């Protein structure tokens, strides 16, 4: 019973750290790591502290991370759908364009999920791949007459230009201005 309680305590700890762990693991994905999780040290420390099997703690960690990622993905998809529906209502996009955007976002998301698991690329190769993806996405948006801000807000030149706040503050206003 004590071990079950310890696993539950560790699970609660991972739930609390889950959002931060997801963000940090995404950041670490840009650099090569060994086959183990970048948080292997944390997993090992918790296993040692609570006298648990490392594999059990790792399983709880992976489950929590997967759940947080699924929630984040669902929230992002919902926000995208809301923004696209509003753009159609306002006459800024057509239904056909929103269908294209949703398909492209799904394609990019799947590619990124695969790329995160690929640790064979060097930092320079990853950078080159990202630059190519950006150029390809800009060309695709141009071909389909879709303002870039509907795909990735960071493409909003006004937002990232002189004095822009980037993703800090007033993002919604700046995206709206760019999409007008």
Q: What is the pLDDT of residue 59?
A: 93
Overall average pLDDT of the 33-46 stretch: 74
Q: What is the pLDDT of residue 37?
A: 62
Please, what's the largest Cα pairwise distance for the chain?
A: 61
Give 140's pLDDT tier (boundaries 50, 70, 90).
very high
> Taking 70 as the threshold, does the pLDDT of residue 138 lie above it?
yes
Q: What is the pLDDT of residue 170?
A: 42
Taking the CB of residue 163, how many other CB atoms lie within 10 A of it?
5
Percent of the chain topping pLDDT 70: 63
Query: Which residues neighbour 112 within 8 Å (Cβ) at sequence distance 6 or greater?
Result: none
Give 8's pLDDT tier (boundaries 50, 70, 90).
very low
């Amino acid at each position: 019973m004590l071990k079950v309680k310890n696993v539950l305590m560790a699970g609660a700890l991972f739930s609390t750290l889950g959002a931060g762990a997801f963000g940090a693991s995404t950041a670490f994905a840009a650099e090569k790591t060994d086959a183990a999780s970048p948080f292997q040290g944390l997993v090992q420390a918790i296993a040692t502290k609570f006298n648990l099997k490392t594999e059990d703690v790792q399983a709880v960690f992976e489950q929590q991370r997967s759940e947080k990622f699924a929630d984040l993905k669902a929230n992002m998809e919902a926000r995208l759908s809301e923004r696209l529906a509003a753009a159609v209502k306002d006459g800024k996009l057509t239904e056909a364009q929103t269908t294209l955007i949703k398909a492209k976002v799904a394609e990019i998301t799947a590619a990124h999920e695969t790329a995160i698991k690929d640790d064979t690329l060097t930092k320079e190769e990853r950078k080159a791949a990202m630059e190519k993806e950006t150029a390809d996405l800009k060309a695709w948006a141009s071909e389909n007459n879709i303002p870039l801000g509907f795909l990735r807000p960071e493409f909003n030149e006004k937002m990232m230009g002189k004095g822009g706040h980037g993703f800090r503050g007033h993002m919604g206003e700046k995206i709206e201005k760019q999409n007008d």
